[in-house]
């Protein structure tokens, strides 16, 4: 009987990730339809993005199932690959010329509003804590306050849509909340620099499908912040 709620949580993680990236691809496709580019260029870019996301998801899933990320004897831990690769990729993408052009055709409120998904992530983390799979410090009962970014996202998208400075501040605060929980998760792993020694640790994020949390959902959160800030710095309203 204990496996039933755990399986439901696993399925929920997968569904949430697929749904959110579907919204991302929908937004990209809609923006591309408004750009004065050749159709071939639009299609190629969309396909590259879609295949890159699917490919990355398959790679980290396979490695998670194979136990690759559960080896903490190396330094830095293999798990860092999941954090570093998306970060570098999204930084490059955010500051690229095609991204700047595409962002001109994406509503500010669309990017900001998508951050509401973080509420569901925090609820799933809380359920994992109740199932004794995740440590309390990774939930809103502990040291994780990232749920605030998700709760305020719809309000920021609606009330701050014409307030450039307000949205910049909101994005920066959202990034700070994200850095907080990522740091807590890393410091809860069974590594030599572990700080939170209570059990269970955060090793669940190295297993499939929870590897999608640091590998896909966390990058989605800071990626949306990066893109939103790029929009606002460029004067998009």
| DSSP per-residue letters across 162-196 | T-HHHHHHHHHHHHHHHHHHHHHHHTTSSSTT---
Task: Give percent of the chain above pLDDT 70.
Answer: 97
Query: pLDDT tens digits for 109-136?
Result: 999 999 999 999 999 999 999 999 999 9
C-alpha distances in Å from residue 233, one per residue of 104, 123, 228, 236: 12, 32, 9, 7
Cβ–Cβ under 8 Å, residues 20 and 114: yes
User: What is the reported pLDDT for 5?
Assistant: 56
Query: pLDDT tens digits for 20-78?
Result: 999 999 999 999 999 999 999 999 999 999 999 999 999 999 999 999 999 888 888 89
pTM: 0.94
Name the DSSP class of 214. Answer: I
Q: Report the C-alpha gap between 81 and 37 in whole angstroms.
A: 35
Angle, vertex CA 87, rays to CA 82 and CA 91, nearest 5? 160
User: What is the reported pLDDT for 4?
Assistant: 44
Residue 200: CB partners within 8 Å, gap ≥ 6? 132, 133, 134, 135
Instruction: Provide the mean pLDDT of the chain.
Output: 93
């Amino acid at each position: 009987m204990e496996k039933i709620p755990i399986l439901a949580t696993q399925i929920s993680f997968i569904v949430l990730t697929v749904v959110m990236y579907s919204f991302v691809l929908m937004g990209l496709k809609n923006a591309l339809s408004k750009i004065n580019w050749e159709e071939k260029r639009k299609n190629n870019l969309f396909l590259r993005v879609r295949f890159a996301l699917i490919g990355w998801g398959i790679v980290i899933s396979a490695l998670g199932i194979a136990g690759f990320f559960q080896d903490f004897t190396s330094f830095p831990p293999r798990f860092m690959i999941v954090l570093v690769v998306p970060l570098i990729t999204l930084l490059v993408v955010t500051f690229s010329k095609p991204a700047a052009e595409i962002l001109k055709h994406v509503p500010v409120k669309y990017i900001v509003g998508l951050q509401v998904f973080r509420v569901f992530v925090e609820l799933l983390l809380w359920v994992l804590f109740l199932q004794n799979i995740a440590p309390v410090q990774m939930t809103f009962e502990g040291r994780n306050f990232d749920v605030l970014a998700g709760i305020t996202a719809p309000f920021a998208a609606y009330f701050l849509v014409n307030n450039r400075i307000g949205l910049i501040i909101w994005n920066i605060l959202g990034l700070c909340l994200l850095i907080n929980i990522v740091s807590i998760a890393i410091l809860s792993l069974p590594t030599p620099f572990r700080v939170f020694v209570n059990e269970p640790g955060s090793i669940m994020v190295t297993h499939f499908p929870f590897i999608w949390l640091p590998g896909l959902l966390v990058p989605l959160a800071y990626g949306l912040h990066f893109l939103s800030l790029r929009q606002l710095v460029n004067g998009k309203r």
